[in-house]
């Protein structure tokens, strides 16, 4: 999509998560923006998670449910006083249901500049075999 190149970016409010369950930890939770696309061999997911370092990211896949959870380190600056704030920070959380079988052993995840790239290879299906019936 080369057409996006000259487009001016607009402010988009970070989407706060409607909490599915009562939280035991304080703080706001956001749903990251994602791109998901697939080819014949794999599903790729890109997620914007600024402030998340690899150690604080957890990716969980079980029963065809993929869960992304990213924790951010709070700004450690006790001397600073807030003048004004246009965005707030918090954890990221999002779940997806996958309809394809994923080859768990070949999952690959990378996070760079706050963008997660997750590659989920599909399980190679058994190749269809034609059965010929011999006449007795």
Partner 1 sequence: MIYRSMYGVPAWRVRRPFYELDRMQRQMDRLLDAFSGQGEGRISAGVFPPINLSEDQENYFIRAELPGVEAGKLDIQATGQSLTLSGERKIAEENSGVRYHRREREGGTFSRVISLPGDINAEKVDAELANGVLTIKIAKAEAAKPKQITVRH
From residue 107 to residue 126, the character string flagging contacts with partner 1 as x (rule: CB under 8 A) and all else as - is ----x-xxx-----------
Q: Indicate the burial class of 104 (C-beta count within 10 angstroms; 0-12, 13-18, 19 or more).
A: exposed
Toward partner 1, which CB reaches closer, 63 or 80? 80
Question: Radius of gyration over alpha carbons of the chain, in Å?
Answer: 21
Listed residue (30, 25, 8) closest to 93, CA to CA: 30
**CB 45, CB 35: distance < 8 Å:** yes
Q: Is 28 in the site for partner 1 (CB under 8 A)?
A: no
Closest separation in Å from C-beta 10 to partner 1: 6
Rounded Cα–Cα distance for residues 24 and 67 (Å): 18
Toward partner 1, which CB reaches closer, 112 or 129? 112
Closest separation in Å from C-beta 8 to partner 1: 6
Q: Is 51 in the site for partner 1 (CB under 8 A)?
A: yes
Rounded Cα–Cα distance for residues 68 and 98 (Å): 13
| H or E, element range at 52 | strand 52-62
Instruction: Name residue 72's beta-bridge partners.
Output: 52
Q: Is 97 in the site for partner 1 (CB under 8 A)?
A: no
Closest separation in Å from C-beta 58 to partner 1: 16
Toward partner 1, which CB reaches closer, 55 or 63? 55
* Residues lying near partner 1 in the complex (CB under 8 A): 1-2, 4-13, 33-39, 43-44, 46, 48-53, 75, 77, 79-89, 111, 113-115
């Amino acid at each position: 999509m080369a057409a996006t190149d000259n487009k001016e970016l607009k402010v988009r409010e970070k989407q706060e998560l409607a909490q599915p369950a009562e939280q035991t930890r304080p703080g706001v939770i956001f749903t990251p923006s994602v791109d998901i696309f697939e080819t014949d061999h794999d599903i790729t997911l890109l997620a914007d998670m600024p402030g998340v370092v690899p150690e604080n990211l957890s990716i969980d896949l079980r029963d065809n449910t993929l869960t992304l959870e990213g924790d951010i380190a709070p700004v450690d600056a006790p001397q600073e006083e807030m003048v004004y704030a246009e965005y707030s920070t918090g954890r990221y959380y999002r779940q997806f249901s996958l309809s394809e079988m994923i080859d768990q052993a070949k999952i690959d995840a990378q996070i760079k500049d706050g963008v997660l790239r997750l590659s989920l290879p599909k399980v190679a299906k058994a190749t269809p075999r034609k059965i010929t019936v011999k006449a007795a």
